[in-house]
Amino acid sequence: MIKIILADNHPIIRQGLAILLDGEEDMQVVAEAEDCGSTLRLIQELAPEVVIMDISMPDLNGVEATRQILTQYPWVKVIALSMHSDSLFVLNMLNAGAAGYLLKDCALEELVHAIRTVVTRKIYLSASLSNMLVSDLANKLSFDDFQS
C-alpha cells in the first residue's frame, strides 16, 4: 500500500483528492496538511512514501518545503501538484528534489500514474511540462554550443 500525505492549503482540493486516491486499491491517503509545518510533523509520525505538495503554501513555499522534507526524510517522494506551469517553477521544484510535477488540471489517471512512477524511483513530469522544458532548453542552446 502506497501511503500518501496531501499538502495543500485548500481543504476542498485535499478532501477531493483523498476521496479519489483512496479509491485506488494500492493507495491510501494517511493524512492531509494545510501548511508545511504540519506536513513535516505528519511525515515524521506516519512515514509516507509520497507527499503531494502544492507550491503555494501559506507558511513556506513548496520549493523550500520540499528541500526540508528531503533533508530530513530522504526516502519520501514529493510530487508537486500546482497551477504554475512556468518552467522556472518546475525547475526549482526539481532542483529541490521533487520526484514529479503535475498541473492541477491533470486527470486523476495521470496523478495515479505519477504516484506509481515515483515510488519506483523514477521522475515523472506531465507531457506538456516535458515538452515545454525541452523547448526552453532548445531555445537557449545554439549549434555553436556543441562545436569544439
User: For the chain, which residues make up each domain, given as ranges?
Assistant: 2-146
Strands (E), 22-97: 27-33, 50-53, 77-82
Q: Is the pTM of this model over 0.85?
A: yes
HEC readout, 118-137:
HCCCCCEECHHHHHHHHHHH
Radius of gyration of the chain (CA): 16
- Stated as kind and residue range, the H or E segment containing 90 is helix 87-96
Average pLDDT value for residue range 23-44: 96
Architecture, CATH, for domain 2-146? 3-Layer(aba) Sandwich (3.40)
Distance CA 78, CA 50 (A): 6
Q: Is pLDDT of 138 > 80?
A: no
SS3 content of the chain, % helix, strand, coil (to 5): 50, 20, 30
Distance CA 19, CA 8 (A): 15
What pLDDT, on the 0 to 100 scale, is given for residue 148? Answer: 52
How many Cβ atoms from other residues are within 10 Å of residue 145's Cβ? 7
pLDDT in tens, 58-112: 888 889 999 999 999 999 999 999 998 888 899 999 999 999 999 999 999 999 9
What pLDDT, on the 0 to 100 scale, is given for residue 58? Answer: 80
What pLDDT, on the 0 to 100 scale, is given for residue 147? Answer: 56
